[in-house]
Structure 1
Amino acid sequence: MIQDPPANTGCTEVLAEVWLFLDHECDQERRRLLQQHLDECAPCLAEYGIDEKLKALLARKCGGEAAPAALKDRLRSQIRSAVLEQAQVTVESGPDGTSVSVSHQRTEYRRSGG
């Protein structure tokens, strides 16, 4: 039987932050919420497992070489943009400061009969 994912943290949100979780780049409370969701949601846990294996493979194959600082900065910027896009977050800077908007999308899960 398929369980409904926990209501307090959505799948899209968790998958958008899975690399932050893997890299221990989120605070303890956020990490606890993400871990709880992964423990309760099989599809997200499967995706997390794939990302975890990819991270280990990258570390194993690229671990001995140091990337130039400019490349690291460019990659961080592109990853940040991809995470924000996946989470449907828009950040705009203007003369009045920076504004952030979040688009919420409701995902419904249905249980199969059986």
Structure 2
Amino acid sequence: MSCGKPHDTDCSEVLAEVWLFLDNECDEERRKVLAQHLDECAPCLSEYGIDEKLKKLLGKKCSGEVAPAGLRDRLRQQIRTAVLEQAQVTVEQTPTGTTVEVRAARVERRTLG
């Protein structure tokens, strides 16, 4: 998705990470980038609002019920994997460190003038 306006962060990138934003699962720097985009982009803010309402509704309807820790961990990992696949990012943990590979080219549009 793209609203057609130039942003530092592409709309599809923001929407791929909106659940991480809602769950406070992204680092502070990334959170600021996503928040700035949502402040500037009405279509993304609208989509964020829908997701936020859905999350609140699920929380309300499922309140009092706690999923087992193993299930929560598996779901969290599956969501992260899906988000990374959608963003075409591979993260590999090795004994010497972490390797991150981004397969999609990021295109930044700037207006000259």
Q: Structure 2-normalised TM-score?
A: 0.77
CA distance in 2, matches of 1:101, 1:37: 24
Mapping of residues 21-36 of structure 1, within 5 Å:
21-36=21-36
Structure 1 equivalent of residue 39 of structure 2 = 39
Q: Does 1:88 align with 2:88?
A: yes
Residue identity matched to 2:23? D
Q: Give the drift of 1:15.
A: 1.2
- CA deviation profile, 1:20-48 (whole Å, cap 9, x unmatched): 21122223322221111011112211211
Structure 2 equivalent of residue 19 of structure 1 = 19
Count of residues in Structure 1 that have an aligned counterpart in Structure 2 = 107
User: What SS does structure 1 have at the residue aligned with 2:39?
Assistant: helix
- Higher relative contact order by CA 8 Å / sep ≥ 6: 1 or 2? 1
> Which has the larger displacement, 10-19 or 49-58?
10-19
Which structure 2 segments of 5+ residues have no match? none
Q: Percent identity?
A: 70
- CA deviation profile, 1:60-104 (whole Å, cap 9, x unmatched): 011210101121111011101111011111234568765321123
Cα pair distance change 1:99/1:50, threshold 3 Å: same
